[in-house]
């Protein structure tokens, strides 16, 4: 084959390769691939939005807490009744309706929102971990949403928030930490946030703040 023919064949092959590449570039995307990229993109957007929302919620919470530090003077400092562990299934009668220390169950109530009964012996163990336990009975819907936001914001087992319905409290809201208590005649986000920020994550078992 002459040198001219070899050059011509090489040029034709190159042209065919470029044409195939162009066809691949302009070929419609399969519906499966399109769906995959759509889910991936929405995940990135949602993930970024969720992080921004959490940061915004925490910033608002900390602003309220910092503005109401003076309300910490209302906190009751309770007697330390010890940190002993009970045997599984064993009960204990605490001297206070809302215990803040003392012998407790080997398992604990994890952070979150509860409408079902949680034993005091498990709640005290949650306090030992560094969690805050908030008791309510009858609060406005907007205030309940605030507590839901806080519980969602702080859910670590060593620095979380347990929100529990306690029938009979009426409008009163009670916040407890290890050997600490704050009683509010009605829910007030200012002193409540100051209490949570001051004592969350500072339990005797594993302080993380």
List the 161-165 sheet strands across, edge first: 76-77, 180-184, 173-177, 132-136, 161-165, 112-114
Instruction: Please report whether residue 205 resides in a domain.
Output: no
Find the domain containing 15 and state its range: 3-67
Q: Is the domain of 41 the same as that of 80?
A: no
User: Of the residues 26, 48, 67, which one is the last residue of a structural domain?
Assistant: 67
Number of other residues whose CB lies within 10 A of the CB of residue 68: 18
Is 95:172 a contact under the CB 8 Å cutoff? no
Question: Are 36 and 116 found together in one domain?
Answer: no
pLDDT in tens, 138-155: 999 999 999 999 999 999
Q: Which residues have a Cβ under 8 Å from the Cβ of 179 and sit 6 or more positions away?
A: 77, 78, 79, 80, 100, 101
- pLDDT 10s per residue in the chain (209 long)? 555 555 455 545 555 555 555 555 555 555 544 554 454 445 444 445 455 556 788 999 999 999 999 999 999 999 999 999 999 999 999 999 999 999 999 999 999 999 999 999 999 999 999 999 999 999 999 999 999 999 999 999 999 999 999 999 999 999 999 999 999 999 999 999 999 999 999 999 999 99
Cα–Cα separations (whole angstroms), residue 139 to 4, 144, 146, 169, 171:
91, 6, 11, 10, 6
């Amino acid at each position: 084959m002459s040198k001219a023919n070899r050059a011509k064949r090489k040029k034709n092959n190159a042209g065919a390769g470029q044409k195939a590449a162009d066809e691949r570039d302009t070929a419609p995307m399969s519906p499966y691939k399109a769906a995959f990229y759509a889910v991936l993109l929405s995940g990135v957007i949602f993930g970024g939005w969720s992080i921004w929302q959490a940061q915004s919620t925490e910033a608002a919470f900390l602003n309220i807490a910092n503005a109401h530090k003076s309300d910490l003077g209302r906190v009751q400092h309770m007697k330390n009744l010890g940190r002993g562990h009970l045997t599984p299934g064993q009960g204990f009668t605490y001297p206070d309706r809302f215990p803040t220390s003392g012998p407790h169950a080997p398992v604990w109530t994890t952070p979150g929102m509860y409408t079902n009964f949680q034993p005091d012996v498990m709640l005290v163990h949650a306090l030992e971990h560094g969690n805050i336990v908030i008791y309510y009975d009858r609060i406005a819907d907007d205030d309940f949403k605030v507590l839901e936001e806080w519980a969602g914001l702080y859910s670590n087992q060593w620095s979380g928030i347990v929100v529990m319905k306690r029938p009979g409290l009426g409008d009163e809201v009670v916040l407890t930490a290890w050997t600490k208590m704050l009683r509010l005649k009605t829910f007030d986000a200012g002193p409540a946030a100051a209490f949570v920020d001051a004592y969350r994550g500072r339990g005797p078992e594993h302080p993380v703040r």
